Chains A and B, each alone.
Chain A
Amino acid sequence: MFKKILIANRGEIALRVICACKELGIKAVAIYSEADRNSLHVRFADEAICIGPPRLSESYLNIPAVISAAEIANVDAIHPGYGLLSENANFAEVCETCGIKFIGPPPDIIRLMGEKEKARAAMKKAGVPILPGSEGVVPSAEEAAEWAGQIGYPVICKASAGGGGRGMRVIRSAEELAPLFNAAQSEAAAAFGNGDLYMEKFVERPRHIEFQVLADAHGNVVSLGERECSIQRRHQKLVEEAPSVMVRPDLRQHIGAILQRTMSDIGYVNAGTVEFLMDEDQNLHFIEMNTRIQVEHPVTEMTTDVDLVKSQIAIAAGERLDVVLHGPVVYRGHAIECRINAEHPEKFTPSAGKIKTFSTPGGTGVRVDTAMYAEGVIPPYYDSLIAKLVVRGKDREEAISRMARALEMFIVEGVYTTIPLHRRIMADPDFRAGNFDTKFMERFLAAKKAEVDAGKP
């Protein structure tokens, strides 16, 4: 087992890894930028090294600085957390070259899953259901029409060279295909210098469902079930839960078995999350894979009793999965996580500054993962996540009422937070009924706006 680990991250996830290290008797080394000097992850690490000024590129994303810190602290391994360098294959390679164990999959696997088209091809080959798509670029509207005719409308065309909605058009019938396709091509050419488009089946009301996997270095893989993450705003998740009301045990078992075989075949190691889109007919389609621990990992931990971060460390240290997991995965109860951001709950503008009051809820089945504290300062340089409020109940109904109770008892003063927004989501009839998709927040916010406008004189 490792004696010392450097955590190449900040905020709540750095603290999360430090927790796992402390419980395993491993020394934790924190790195920090000048803006994070008074952070909780610095406070609780065994050693802390300042690696640069506030800007990410000069500190947390600065590979030489991170590796240099690892060398002078003489660590055995680096845990990259999520975001930042966690899916940077180059960084994983540099760690290897320097004789430091990177806690995650091998660099080649990170690279494979980082290239969307290659990942889709690999998963398709392995038998994982993927969203029907053109195999590569569709050069003309005529070919697009032919392809769409086979797959069935609605379809979407997307730019190969870039994203952000540019060069993207949803096409719902053969009549509107040609003009929309051509418009998308022009837009893509203007935005990215490259008008190439590829096509995919379009799902009007998809649900985002992802599966957690753990794999050891000896070819053993286990699926730990799914998480439902459809409550999103602008592709940023707000609320996650486990299990999903839409996934019956046989589907969970079926996908789990496919993933176990697939991950083993491609040589996956350590923790990973396979993301799917569920269509209106409840079919799952592979979208992409994240080769790291995810923000919402606590909902899986709360319903399976598996400590995913400790598992990551143990796997990286060479332990076999049956030792890491102590038995088959058992699902109990229902967990929900609300991401609390330092943002205005209606305008979503970021709210940096000093926190005056920070009183976290407690009681049965409540977990708060946070690196914030009273008198703490939220720096303006990083993301606005200040806490993850996670609850577990014996069923979904109890989990919702527990979350509503916990949100009410979470007091933060000095900055705006999205706590009021989450309270309204928990009270929403569609949310409570489990009746939602990834467009939920759009409708929710539009309804709220309509309410406000109607109330105006």
Chain B
Amino acid sequence: MNSKEIKELVEFLIEKDIAEFELERGDVKLRVKRGVETHVVAAPIATQIAAPMMSPVAAVAPVAAVPSAAPPQEAAPAAAPEENLHIVKSPIVGTYYEAPSPGSPPFSKVGDTVTAGQILCIVEAMKLMNEIESDVAGEIVKILVSNGQPVEYGQPLFAIRPR
């Protein structure tokens, strides 16, 4: 995980008001515990991450050297159940694309209202473009991956507030 990813993750946790969160991936172990009105001693994260964490995040415990970003990374699926958001997960391994072709408008964006069966994105596998459909009707609250990112089976792609 790089500092940008960690920053996004932490922002997401704050946005969703998550109190405690732990993630372990390869050599990286990240534990976030949020208190109210506490000030942080930002433990410097070893080696490759330079940016210190921002408040109101409490103890962030970095561990060891961070390997170069291994595709794909995990997002924060733990957040969703607390918000009753429906997570659309990738049914296949491949590369996520937001639009049918480079330069065309994306299939969907945050804030869009979608119907069940509506195409949200493409996951390309072995040169085949697989259209990924929404399994619920609702509003897209968050897109959890970025254009061109490799995704694995079961990887969370979209957080939808069902109607």
**Chain A residues near B (Cβ < 8 Å):** 34, 46-53, 59, 64-65, 67-69, 71-73, 98
Contact = CB atoms under 8 A, between A and B. Distances in A.
Given A71-B126, A72-B95, A65 B153 contact: yes
Interface string B125-161: 1101000000000000000000000111111000000
Given A52-B153, A69-B93, A72-B150, A46 B67 contact: yes
A275 B17 CA distance: 63
Contacts of A50: 93, 152-155
Given A64-B125, A72-B95, A98-B126, A46 B70 contact: yes
B135 to A, nearest CB: 16
Given A64-B125, A67-B126, A51 B70 contact: no
A52 B95 CA distance: 15
Interface of B: 26, 67, 70-72, 92-95, 125-126, 128, 150-155
Contacts of A68: 92-94, 125-126
Contacts of A53: 153
A72 B94 CA distance: 6
A9 to B, nearest CB: 16
Given A49-B153, A51-B153, A73-B150, 11 more contacts: A46-B26, A47-B70, A50-B153, A53-B153, A59-B153, A64-B128, A65-B93, A65-B153, A68-B126, A71-B125, A72-B150
Nearest to A37: B154
Contacts of B26: 46-48
B3 to A, nearest CB: 20
B154 A49 contact: no
A73 B151 CA distance: 10
Could you tell me the dominant secondary structure of chain A's interface residues? mixed
A216 B91 CA distance: 40
Could you tell me the dominant secondary structure of chain B's interface residues? loop
A46 B151 CA distance: 17
Contacts of B71: 47, 49, 72-73
B122 to A, nearest CB: 13
A34 B154 contact: yes
Contacts of A67: 125-126
A72 B70 CA distance: 10
In the A-B complex, the 10 residue pairs with the closest CB atoms: A72-B150, A68-B125, A68-B93, A50-B152, A47-B70, A49-B152, A50-B153, A69-B93, A52-B153, A68-B94
Contacts of B94: 68, 72
Contacts of A52: 93, 153
Contacts of A69: 93, 152
Contacts of A47: 26, 70-71
Contacts of A59: 153
A98 to B, nearest CB: 7
Contacts of B92: 64-65, 68
A53 B72 CA distance: 17
Nearest to A45: B26
Which residue among A64, A68, A73 has the maximum number of chain B CB atoms within 10 Å of its CB?
A68
A64 B126 contact: yes
B153 A72 contact: no
21 contacts: A46-B67, A47-B71, A49-B72, A49-B93, A50-B153, A50-B155, A51-B153, A64-B92, A64-B125, A65-B93, A67-B125, A67-B126, A68-B92, A68-B93, A68-B126, A69-B152, A72-B71, A72-B93, A72-B150, A72-B151, A73-B150
A191 B155 CA distance: 45
A98 B128 CA distance: 13
A51 B152 contact: yes
Nearest to B27: A46
B26 to A, nearest CB: 8
Contacts of A72: 71-72, 93-95, 150-151
Contacts of A98: 126
A99 to B, nearest CB: 12
Contact of B93 (A34, A46, A51): A51
Nearest to B94: A68
A8 B26 CA distance: 19
Contacts of B154: 34, 50
Contacts of B155: 50
Contacts of A48: 26, 70
Contacts of B95: 72
A221 B134 CA distance: 55
B91 to A, nearest CB: 9
B22 to A, nearest CB: 15
